[in-house]
């Protein structure tokens, strides 16, 4: 047997949900033996593509039993504000770490302040008066026991600081959302690209109101009047599909708007390369805003410029006028102007394409990011150097 493999510390990751861009890069960990327990897997990841040590747990007891059997050297807990399973797994993390006498750390993704996110009513009764202080007290205790916390974005970092967490315990880093495989998400064509024509706009993701679909449809109608060869392609699934199909019929767009359904993460690059633009007009809602915008990063890695919004943390990852175009939320006129600029200004298009690919290689390469994360965990959580 490989002695080096045996000597690797076991890192157990506890996740409420897993998806392709979270699961796939786990194979790039080299200094840890990765074990992953998850409650639900999204449609974009076939079960036969799961890592060999990734297992679904059925309930809390099942997760506890599996954790104790794995006997990890270190535990990565869950996001405490993700209800219900993020909270449940955070509690399990603290219990298991104490019973096994091992350290734990966790990532913080949530960029909406808890005072806003959980200001909710149940059966007409304001539940926030109890839920908000309860969750904040729990998160404070959880953070106090953690050796380290990875903040995915600036607002997540601020949520931690508002709990009184020391700056020295927080590392801002792409974590969980690791980045992209820049070898697969690249601009070089391999012959598998579909023929979308020269002016295809691609949307990838959940087809729901929070993704700005209505504004994209309004913009597309106006762009078509100026550039009739423009097409709109949807990849994904969601509650708005019936509404979009009605819109298509009402505006006679049957030949110019297409639905391709859900395509797994590994299959996305040819579709992104075949598109002229990727549109991601996300909206901020009372309980959600973009935490990264992974489709934007995947797109610029392929050299396909993005038109997106300033929802949440998107401007931390896409630089307006440098790696993409950022427009105000809920503004179809601004979307129209940005899309037409990219379809007609070849110099701007090529500049954004080059800059986007360069940014992906330098900042968003999953293999490089994971190597750096491993060293941080070894040195700051396990106090080892390798």
- For tokens 């919004």, the residue is 309
* Residue 384: band (very low, low, confident or very high) from pLDDT cuts 50, 70, 90: confident
Among the listed ranges 3-7, 66-70, 151-155, 359-363, which one has the minimum average pLDDT value?
A: 3-7
As beta bridge partners, residue 151 has 108, 172
Residue 6 has pLDDT above 60, yes or no: no
Q: What is the pLDDT of residue 313?
A: 97
- If we measure between CA atoms, which residue out of 335, 294, 338, 339 comes closest to residue 317? 294
Exposed, middle or buried, 65 (CB in 10 Å: 0-12/13-18/19+)? Answer: exposed
Phi, psi for residue 76 in degrees, rounded to 5: -95, 110
- Average pLDDT of span 84-111: 98
Phi, psi for residue 10 in degrees, rounded to 5: -85, 125
Which domains, from first to last, does the chain contain?
3-179+365-380 (3.40.50.2000), 200-363 (3.40.50.2000)
> For residue 283, what are the contacts with CB-CB under 8 A and spacing of at least 6?
209, 210, 211, 212, 215, 289, 309, 311, 329, 330
Alpha-carbon gap, residue 113 to 162, rounded angstroms: 9
Share the mean pLDDT of the chain: 94
Residue 197 has pLDDT above 60, yes or no: yes
Cα-to-chain-centroid distance, residue 99: 32
pLDDT (tens digit per residue) in 297-332: 999 999 999 999 999 999 999 999 999 999 999 999
Share of the chain above pLDDT 70, in %: 96
pLDDT (tens digit per residue) in 258-282: 999 999 888 999 999 999 999 999 9
Whether 151 contacts 171, CB under 8 Å: yes
- Average pLDDT of span 91-120: 97
Read off the pTM. 0.92
Q: What is the pLDDT of residue 1?
A: 37
Q: What is the pLDDT of residue 4?
A: 47
């Amino acid at each position: 047997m490989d002695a080096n493999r045996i000597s690797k510390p076991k890192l157990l990751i506890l996740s409420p949900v897993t998806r392709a861009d979270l699961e796939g890069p786990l194979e790039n960990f080299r200094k840890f033996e990765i074990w992953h327990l998850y409650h639900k897997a999204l449609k974009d990841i076939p079960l036969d593509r799961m890592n060999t040590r990734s297992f679904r747990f059925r309930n809390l007891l099942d997760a506890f039993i599996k954790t104790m059997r794995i006997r990890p050297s270190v535990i990565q807990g869950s996001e405490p504000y993700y209800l219900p399973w993020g909270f449940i797994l955070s509690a399990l993390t603290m219990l298991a770490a104490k019973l096994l006498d091992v350290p734990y750390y966790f990532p913080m993704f949530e960029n909406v302040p808890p005072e806003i996110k959980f200001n909710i009513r149940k059966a007409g009764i304001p539940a926030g008066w109890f839920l908000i202080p309860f969750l904040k007290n729990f998160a404070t205790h959880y953070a106090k026991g953690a050796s380290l916390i990875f903040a995915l974005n600036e607002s997540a970092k601020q949520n931690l600081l508002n709990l009184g967490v020391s700056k020295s315990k927080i590392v801002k880093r792409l974590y969980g959302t690791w980045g992209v495989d820049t070898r697969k998400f690249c601009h070089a064509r391999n012959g598998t690209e579909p023929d979308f024509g020269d002016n295809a706009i691609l949307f990838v993701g959940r087809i729901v109101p929070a993704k700005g679909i209505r504004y994209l449809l309004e913009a597309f109608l106006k762009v078509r009047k100026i550039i009739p060869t423009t097409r709109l392609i949807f990849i994904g699934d969601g509650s708005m599909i019936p509404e979009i199909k009605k819109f298509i019929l009402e505006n006679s767009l049957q030949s110019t708007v297409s639905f391709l359904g859900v395509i797994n993460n590994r299959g996305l690059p040819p579709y992104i390369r075949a598109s002229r633009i990727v549109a991601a007009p996300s909206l901020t809602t009372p309980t959600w805003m973009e935490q990264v915008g992974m489709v934007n990063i995947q797109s610029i890695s392929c050299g396909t410029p993005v038109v997106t919004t300033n929802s949440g943390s998107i401007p931390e990852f896409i630089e307006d006028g440098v790696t993409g175009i950022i427009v105000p939320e809920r503004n179809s006129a601004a979307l129209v102007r940005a899309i037409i600029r990219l379809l007609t200004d070849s110099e701007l298009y090529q500049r954004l394409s080059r800059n986007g690919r360069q940014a992906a290689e330098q900042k968003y390469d999953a293999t490089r990011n994971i190597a750096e994360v491993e060293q941080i965990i070894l040195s700051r959580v396990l106090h080892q150097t390798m």
